């Protein structure tokens, strides 16, 4: 009887403590700021995970992904985020990289108006296909399977528009130019992007174990936990992308461990010759 009474009193105190804590948090809770509001702390790298649905057809999904990524890029540049990583399991954004590139180029073109006070210049040949002449340049990373696009700043001095009248090039003055827009690096990542990284980690561990085995006479037992594998992968992808989900890294762990263990048990060329 006494124990039951003490338990009820304890539950009552716990209930009151939780209630007071919730009331206090409701008063202290601040309303979320608007997307365009200034923030004291801005992340330098933002990861966006997009999910597909079986109820939506492929074309609608691709259009939605392109629209979502274009809006995210615009928002990141306005806020001040320098890197954006977009991950989707099925690789939809990866396959639509060219469409995304063209959409971003179109979005970077500001509205323009005529300037009658500016002189007209003869039509000159187009600029070469260099990083300075293109507002957006894709860079395909073969090793990691990550598509990287670097959105360059629009230079006000290069904002010109070709007119058909009398084959001349007239200067245009933009109605608006975002001076606070910063260069943005966009990474497109899919599930297949992690396989080359895991293979690289496997080769690195095999070389390390073989080197240690040649320098010691004691047999080495190979061990690799999912946490160690995830840490190694994050080290490889630090400068590229850190948008991989830990569950997927754990799913790949068994196959990677089996591959490394099989290569470790196989005698190396040096050990056979010695």
Per-residue pLDDT at 35 exceeds 70: no
User: Could you give the CA distance from residue 196 to residue 144 in angstroms, rounded to a whole number?
Assistant: 6
Can you tell me whether residue 153 is helix, strand or coil? coil
Percent of the chain with pLDDT over 70: 53
Could you tell me the sign of the dihedral formed by the alpha carbons of 154, 158, 162, 163, in that order? positive
More confident residue, 251 or 123: 251
Quote the tokens at residue 137: 């340049």
Using one digit for the tens of pLDDT, what is the confidence trace for 215-238? 776 666 667 777 777 776 666 544
So what's the pLDDT on residue 67?
92
Per-residue pLDDT at 57 exceeds 50: yes
Domain range summary for the chain, segments of one domain joined by +: 45-189, 193-273
Per-residue pLDDT at 26 exceeds 70: yes
User: Could you give the CA distance from residue 217 to residue 214 in angstroms, rounded to a whole number?
Assistant: 7
**What is the DSSP pairing of strand 83-88 with strand 184-189?**
parallel
Q: What is the side-by-side order of every strand in the sheet holding 184-189? A: 45-50, 83-88, 184-189, 146-151, 136-141
So what's the pLDDT on residue 206?
77
| Residue keyed to tokens 């899919």 | 190
Q: Please choose, from the candidates 154, 114, 118, the residue with its C-alpha nearest in 3D space to the C-alpha of residue 136.
A: 154
Average pLDDT, the chain: 67
Name the pLDDT band for 195 (thresholds 50, 70, 90).
Answer: confident
Q: How many CB atoms lie within 10 A of CB 97?
A: 16
């Amino acid at each position: 009887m006494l124990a039951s009474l003490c338990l009820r009193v304890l539950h009552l105190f716990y209930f009151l403590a939780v209630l007071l804590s919730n009331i206090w948090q409701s008063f202290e809770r601040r309303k979320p700021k608007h997307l365009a509001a200034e923030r004291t702390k801005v992340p330098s790298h933002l990861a966006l995970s997009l999910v597909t649905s079986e109820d939506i057809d492929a074309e609608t999904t691709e259009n939605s992904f392109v629209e979502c990524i274009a809006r995210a890029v615009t928002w990141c540049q306005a806020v001040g985020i320098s890197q954006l990583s977009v991950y989707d399991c099925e690789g939809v954004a990866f396959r639509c990289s060219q469409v995304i590139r063209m959409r971003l180029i179109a979005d970077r073109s500001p509205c323009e108006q005529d300037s009658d006070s500016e002189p007209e210049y003869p039509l000159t040949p187009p600029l070469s296909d260099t990083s300075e002449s293109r507002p957006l340049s894709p860079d395909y990373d073969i090793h990691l399977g990550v598509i990287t696009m670097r959105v360059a700043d629009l230079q006000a001095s290069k904002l010109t528009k070709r007119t058909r009248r009398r084959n001349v090039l007239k200067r245009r003055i933009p109605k608006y130019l975002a001076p606070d827009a910063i260069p943005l690096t966009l990474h497109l990542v899919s599930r297949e992007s992690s396989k080359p990284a895991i293979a690289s980690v496997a080769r690195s561990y095999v070389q390390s174990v073989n080197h240690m085995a040649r320098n010691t006479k004691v047999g080495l037992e190979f061990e690799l936990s999912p946490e160690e594998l995830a840490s190694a992968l994050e080290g490889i992808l630090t400068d590229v992308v850190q948008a991989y989900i830990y569950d997927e890294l754990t799913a790949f762990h068994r196959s990677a461990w089996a591959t490394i263990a099989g290569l470790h048990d196989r005698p190396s060329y040096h050990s056979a010759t010695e």
